[in-house]
A = this chain, B = another copy of it.
Amino acid sequence: MKRKRVAILGATGSIGESALKVARDIPERMQVVGLAANSNAEKLASAANETRAPAVCLVDETKIDALERALNYKPRILSGEAGLREIACLTDADMVLVAIVGTGGLRPALAAIEAGKDLAVASKEILVMAGEIVMQRARDNGVHVLPVDSEHNAIFQCLEGRFLQNGKRPTLNAQRSTPNAEDSRLDVGRSAFGVSDSVRRIILTASGGPFRETPRKSFDSITPEQALKHPTWNMGPKITIDSATLFNKGLEMIEAHWLFGVEMERVEVVIHPQSIVHSMVEFMDGSTLAQLSYSNMCFPIQYAVTWPDRVPNTLPPLDFSKLSKLEFFTPRYEDFPALNLARRAGETGGTSPAVMNAANEIAVAAFLDRHVCFPDIWRVVEDVMNRHTAIANPTLDAILDADQWARNEAQGCVKSLNRQKSCNDGRGGVSNR
């Protein structure tokens, strides 16, 4: 029962906050040894003062003074991208939790892998943009890639004990008298590209977002305020809009493809408005395993930290007397094109998922700025994807180039859409197309 020493990249975001709660809840199993944030000096200082993390990084160098003033102890203080990379490679860290929104987590994640750290992945972009590279480097460096998304963590729980190693089922050494903690771990990082052939389908559950039952014809008049009201999860604005368009689930399909080494056609989505079943695995024999809990990111974060152990905490378990009912529906694929776009991007592979992801980021920002209407998010992404010629087996630079290309293209799309029509500006106006 070793205490895991964790560095948190993105300590002031919602995942970072949950990770700090976990550290507070199970101090005997989790120790925070590094903290990094983008620009919120006060919040980072407060997390540092609580955890006494020996190393702290604020990427925004202009706020280092504010950070120093707010600290009540003397950690190593780092800044900039170089500082971020340093926190990802701390000698005394066992695991790096990457919870940086956007593409910023990619290079630190790869640095952590090269430094031999296990990776707890909360940033979708890491696996969506560079799943092939990340998983290959994890295998090469013998580190584990543990999913922190509630969906992928659920699948991980359902699959546990069924991963393959080099195409072979891991074996148990029943004779070993002194269990070795390292050996008792399932080989996750290295197992991708070969999840057990006992799996037929990965079934990602989706809450369906706030517009699950909204008729298609009303989509044009959806305001950012409406889209930001998520029925079950309380998250940042980008991911909340992704949850409303279902791009969030589309990104997760691609993540699952890489994390668990299953073909895109075996990754499916089921709408489950209650967000109690966090995802499922259907096995070859027709049997399904599901993971259930209340919606709280502390569950998956803790499991990533304590795995393969389960340890008590203060989180409330399910109360079946209050659960009442769980519903499941087929997604409205026609009305929410994000799922099919993501399937296409995942199947095409190469630079395609990075392009989809980048175009979506720009489109979401434009929607939040009221420059385009809600369905334009899908249009922008599809337009940019249509114009892209995917590069197979890309290098990291090629991926980042494609990302930049897609952002520029998407900006162009947004401008063109903006010129064409007057979108809803939150005062009830409806654009017609």
Contact = CB atoms under 8 A, between A and B. Distances in A.
Contacts of A285: 299, 302-303, 306, 310-313, 315
A311 B330 CA distance: 26
A203 interface: yes
Contacts of A313: 284-286
A421 interface: no
A158 B289 CA distance: 7
Most B CB within 10 A of own CB, among A280, A289, A316, A323: A289
Contacts of A291: 287-290
Interface stretch (A178-186, A219-227, A257-265, A402-410): A178-186
Interface stretch (A66-74, A87-95, A165-173): A165-173
A329 interface: yes
Contacts of A286: 293, 299, 313, 315-318
A290 B287 contact: no
A325 B328 contact: yes
B179 A169 contact: yes
Contact of A324 (B157, B299, B327): B327
A323 B317 contact: no
B289 A289 contact: yes
Contacts of A395: none
A289 B156 CA distance: 11
Nearest to A288: B292
Interface residues of A, number: 66
A321 interface: yes
Contacts of A306: 285
B303 A287 contact: yes
Interface in A259-282: 270, 277, 280, 282
A295 to B, nearest CB: 12
A391 to B, nearest CB: 35
B183 A174 contact: yes
A272 to B, nearest CB: 8
Nearest to A272: B320
Most B CB within 10 A of own CB, among A183, A196, A287, A326: A287
A165 B174 contact: yes
Given A286-B299, A328-B324, A171 B184 contact: yes
A198 interface: yes
A310 B283 CA distance: 7
B317 A328 contact: no
A160 interface: yes
Contacts of A321: 328-330
Nearest to A300: B287
Most B CB within 10 A of own CB, among A160, A165, A173, A270: A173
A176 interface: yes
Nearest to A313: B285
Contacts of A199: 310
A195 to B, nearest CB: 12
B157 A169 contact: no
A173 B176 CA distance: 9
Interface of A: 157-158, 160-162, 165, 168-174, 176, 179-180, 183-187, 196, 198-201, 203, 270, 277, 280, 282-293, 299, 302-303, 306, 308-313, 315-318, 320-321, 323-330
Given A171-B180, A287-B310, 16 more contacts: A157-B287, A172-B184, A283-B310, A284-B310, A284-B313, A285-B311, A285-B312, A285-B313, A285-B315, A286-B315, A288-B293, A289-B290, A289-B292, A321-B329, A324-B327, A324-B328
Query: Closest 10 interchain pairs by CB?
Result: A161-B161, A198-B310, A173-B173, A321-B330, A286-B315, A286-B317, A288-B292, A320-B328, A283-B310, A326-B326
23 contacts: A160-B160, A160-B161, A161-B186, A171-B179, A171-B180, A172-B185, A198-B310, A200-B312, A280-B292, A282-B317, A284-B312, A285-B302, A285-B303, A285-B306, A287-B292, A287-B293, A288-B291, A288-B317, A289-B291, A289-B292, A290-B290, A326-B327, A326-B328
